[in-house]
Structure 1
């Protein structure tokens, strides 16, 4: 076992302890079914129609992938509070593709614990990077991926899945950012506060709510997203779709110039910088 793998296992253990969960891989019928049911609840779908059926999850495990589940101790037993699924990409890429990850909103730190468990599992099997996709309009997921984990938004994908009819994404278009996570790197350093620079940069265009959408200062670009797009889809689907198209336009132009999303502020602003590292599609961390 390499020192990187040992450090990853220690970090995963510490993250699980901090979140108050036990994270482990599941293989049995009951455990995998519980994960499928959990995903159905997160995506607001009936258990009879989960986004990732149990038989699909069993196939992933049988093919050499992993289903990780996080359990919180409750009176009388355990409660499933987070889960993730990963498979390997082409051997030459030394890369893992994370299909899906989710955690209950009330359990802070669970998502981090699950991703660290995935990282340790992947490193032990020789992977160097992990990829997944996420909705660029969901600011909390962007901050988790880009700041907490230190991944990079390696590509912008327009309407990747086509229409999605679950209870979280219904009525929207499925643009996604691909996160690429260097598994060999240590914990991500805290990003520098560039709020002042952002405020001083010329505004490029207005957002659908009338405020600024994007600003640029040379090789630095910032783009704002709505505070809670999931709630906005329910309250005003047309406005949510206008946000989708507005952010898409900014990102499409920026990525064509070689920019990549590298950070997300607490107040909902992406920071994009020039980063030539390419990659290809991956997982959805939602909702």
Structure 2
């Protein structure tokens, strides 16, 4: 049985949701840099085919998509300051003396800037192509989830979900700004105000095939699905009546992030029950 639960409010309002924050910042950068979006689309089309959802097994075959996410997390770490540490004894590190009892916080935002990276203010996923740097805490110039014994315990799930969700968004839809705004005129400064985008539907899997895909998706209990306008009427009038349990449908969907704001999108969290 598949249970659909909306997470629109979570993605739209919970700033502590690292997956939602990472996705919205990445989508903002891709819309701001359409040439990068086209490269990611091309890789997805050539690797898995157009208008298909991303499976976990596809991730390793998508180096450019991985580079896009790494670059976004470098520029926009979900947690700019990592969890604090407290010195139990006096510690000498190079020329620095850390007294006993001092609280230390790692500035992940600063690590992603010019002292470590060339052209640090540019969104350039190409810097990670051919690089061994990952986001799993093994390379200290890119630790968005922390490192060591206190690394974020949810990072493996977050990494998988970010790749599969972002890849599905890119591969299933075309994106452009409202009112023919030029991408380079976008304001990517962090703020609480939404930046509207217009979502243009491509030919996407039918609802039947979309549900059948779940049996082939990654072995995760928590999956996701993007549904477009018309799902409500399908559930009410099509053969799915009585087969989809717990579906929460609203005609005016909440924004799924501060960069994605449209009445035509329904964003659902999917939990497969054994």
TM-score by length of 2: 0.24
Greater Rg over alpha carbons, structure: 2
TM-score by length of 1: 0.23
